Amino acid sequence: MNFIQKIRFSSIWEKEDEFTGSIKKLIGHKPKDISFYKIAFTHKSESKVDHKGSVINYERLEFLGDSLLDASITTYLYHNLPESREGDLTQMRSKIVSREHLNEVGKDLDLVSLAKRPNSKRKFSYNAYGDLFEALVAAIYLDRGFEVMDKFIQKKLLDPYDDLQKLQGKITSYKSLFIEWCQKHHHKYYFDIYEDSGKDHEKHFSVKLLVNNEIISKGRSTSKKKAEEIACKRAYYALQDQGISQQSSTQK
């Protein structure tokens, strides 16, 4: 018997039947082994270990789920876009499994509400939505097999796009798009980043985006990466009249 099946979680989830019911509603099947899903929704801050001292949280399942998502989406695109070239398929897959897209899906499914951590008032980071979705995918695979997992992925990630053309037009990284545009037109760009605590208790970063020494846009968020992405998104719309648009850089 796998060590995962021996773990008891009664001290974590107060209402076992309620959790099992939530998982059944979420995946459309009754779990065969609820332990997989409890691990998928156990935050690392729980600091739980098994009888061998190995850490128990969703991170290992997240790692497995990431690879399973790639395999599922790659197979789907291969069969459903027979005229597309390798570069186009790669770009499409990247959009579907992008952190932004997985976060959106995880948030729509309200996965954080099922997760457990010591301090219930402590908020998860936004990326936790995508992390939990990947862990859930792995849990379904281990519990019910590839076919059930594959159908779940298609229903949650692909079916909302009744036409794959909608996904082809989805921008997942304004920063990458902006940098590609600058390189193509030989523009020099620069991110001027500085800490900005402002009136918030949490540390923030502000960024000024300059093109050819001219400030084009600004952004502010809780991380440098997010602030840059916000600034690039604003620059994208500000520079529409100069021909910046989404283009495939992977075409051969």
Interval 179-215: pLDDT, tens: 888 998 899 999 998 877 665 556 788 999 999 999 9
Check whether residue 90 and residue 190 sit in a common domain.
no
- Whether residue 130 contacts residue 106, with contact meaning beta carbons closer than 8 Å, is answered with yes
pLDDT of residue 85 exceeding 90, the answer is no
pLDDT of residue 248 exceeding 50, the answer is no
Q: Given this model, what pLDDT does residue 250 score? A: 38
The answer to the question of residue 119 being in a domain is: yes
Check whether residue 125 and residue 88 sit in a common domain.
yes
Closest C-alpha to 111, from 72, 142, 75, 140 = 140
Question: Could you say which of 146, 168, 190 is where a domain stops?
Answer: 168
Q: How many other β-carbons are positioned within 10 Å of the β-carbon of residue 248?
A: 13
Q: Given this model, what pLDDT does residue 4 score? A: 42
Say how many domains are in the chain.
Answer: 2
Check whether residue 109 and residue 198 sit in a common domain.
no
Question: Could you say which of 117, 148, 168 is where a domain stops?
Answer: 168
Task: List, as own/partner pairs, every contact residues 112-118 make where C-beta atoms lie below 8 angstroms and the sequence separation is at least 24, other chains included.
Answer: 114/19, 114/22, 114/23, 114/26, 114/41, 115/41, 115/42, 115/43, 115/58, 116/12, 116/13, 116/41, 116/42, 116/43, 116/46, 117/43, 117/45, 117/46, 118/45, 118/46, 118/47
Check whether residue 143 and residue 188 sit in a common domain.
no
Check whether residue 75 and residue 104 sit in a common domain.
yes
Residue 46: DSSP 8-state:
G
- Look up residue 67 and give its two tokens: 């690879």
| CA atoms of 231 and 103, how far apart (whole Å) | 20
Residue 40: pLDDT band with limits 50, 70, 90: very high
At which residue do the structure tokens 């695109």 appear?
A: 77
- 221, burial (CB in 10 Å: exposed 0-12, middle 13-18, buried 19+): middle
Which residues are the active-site residues?
66, 134
Q: Given this model, what pLDDT does residue 164 score? A: 61
pLDDT of residue 251 exceeding 60, the answer is no
The answer to the question of residue 116 being in a domain is: yes
pLDDT of residue 118 exceeding 60, the answer is no
pLDDT of residue 50 exceeding 90, the answer is no
pLDDT of residue 66 exceeding 80, the answer is yes
The answer to which of 2-11, 111-120, 144-153 has the lowest mean pLDDT is 2-11
CA distances, 49 to each of 4, 36, 45, 117, 216 (Å): 11, 15, 11, 14, 50
Question: Could you say which of 136, 168, 200 is where a domain stops?
Answer: 168
Q: Which of 52-61, 96-105, 120-129 has the highest mean pLDDT?
A: 96-105
pLDDT of residue 224 exceeding 90, the answer is no
Range of the domain at 84: 3-168
| CA atoms of 73 and 158, how far apart (whole Å) | 9
The answer to the question of residue 252 being in a domain is: no
Check whether residue 40 and residue 164 sit in a common domain.
yes
Average pLDDT over residues 128-145: 95
Check whether residue 57 and residue 143 sit in a common domain.
yes
The answer to the question of residue 250 being in a domain is: no
The CATH number of residue 189's host domain is: 3.30.160.20
Q: Which of 44-58, 167-181, 184-198 has the highest mean pLDDT?
A: 184-198
First to last CA, the chain: 49
Q: Given this model, what pLDDT does residue 200 score? A: 55
Residue 245: pLDDT band with limits 50, 70, 90: low
Average pLDDT, the chain: 81
The CATH number of residue 138's host domain is: 1.10.1520.10
Q: Is the pTM of this model over 0.85?
A: no
Task: List, as own/partner pairs, every contact residues 37-40 make where C-beta atoms lie below 8 angstroms and the sequence separation is at least 24, other chains included.
Answer: 37/136, 37/139, 37/143, 38/7, 38/9, 38/12, 38/13, 39/4, 39/7, 39/135, 39/139, 40/132, 40/135, 40/136, 40/138, 40/139
